[in-house]
Amino acid sequence: MRAGFPDFRLGGVLATSFTATLTERRGDAIERIPTPQRLVDWLTVSGLAVESCTAAQLGLARELRESIHAAATAAALGEALPAAAVQVINDRSLQGRAAAVLTPEGHRRWQLGPASCVADALGVIAADAIGILAGERDGKLALCASPTCRAAFFDTSQSRTRKWCDMNTCGNRQKKARFNANQRKNS
């Protein structure tokens, strides 16, 4: 972690890891990619290393992030997808020039276009979101039960009953709150 910046909340799903760069949307929101360099850092740890990032590209990234969040929230609630969000996701997907390549070890890696630019990386993220929103992947979109969070996450648990976007943060906080409430009751 770079000094002075909030750390990243990385999950197993690219699109929702990306939406988790803004957390506590319904509370005191924490922006985890406050500067272009922090977006570069996030892309690097997410396997989408880029050469550089401008303020305008950071703006596009955040627009995509909020569009994925809006569409995923609608999908989780069984509502119609917001047209503006779908447009942004499609635009970013169309403008990326990344290709999937297979490593000798048999892993999938993303190869960005010749300039390794932010647009290519956003294209990969948008395509990942499309896969989830289109129901192509094994799992279910759901909303975090924390009232200050309400992050959309992709539930791949067997029973599809996961309640928290992240067990270590929202889940843990809830457990602690319940524990403290019980302590008060018993004292």
Interacting residue ranges for Zn ion, rule: CB under 5 A: 144, 146, 149, 151, 165, 170
- Helix 36-45 crosses helix 118-133 at what angle (to 10 degrees)? 60
Query: Which of 30, 115 has the CB closer to Zn ion?
Result: 30
* Identity of the residue, 42 or 153, whose beta carbon is nearer to Zn ion in the bound complex: 153
Q: Phi first, then psi: what are they for 108, rounded to 5°?
A: -90, 135
Smallest distance from Zn ion to CB 171, Å = 8
Shortest spacing between CB 57 and Zn ion, in angstroms:
27
Rounded CA-CA distance 36/135 in Å is 32
Q: Which is nearer to Zn ion, 66 or 91 (CB)?
A: 66
Q: In whole angstroms, how close is the CB of 169 to Zn ion at the nearest point?
A: 7
Smallest gap from Cβ 167 to Zn ion, in A, equals 10
Select 64 or 151, whichever has its Cβ closest to Zn ion: 151
Nearer to Zn ion, 49 or 143 (CB): 143
Cα 124 to Cα 7, 61, 109, 184: the distances in Å are: 22, 12, 11, 49
**What's the Cα-to-Cα distance from 175 to each of 23, 70, 143, 159, rounded to whole Å?**
19, 28, 18, 20
Q: Is 22 or 126 the residue whose CB approaches Zn ion more closely? A: 22
CB 20 within 8 A of CB 154: no
Output the smallest distance, CB 148 to Zn ion, in A: 8
The SS3 of residue 22 is: strand
Q: From the CB of 22, what's the least distance to Zn ion, in Å?
A: 12
- From residue 75, give the alpha-carbon distance in Å to each of 68, 94, 107, 122: 10, 22, 30, 21
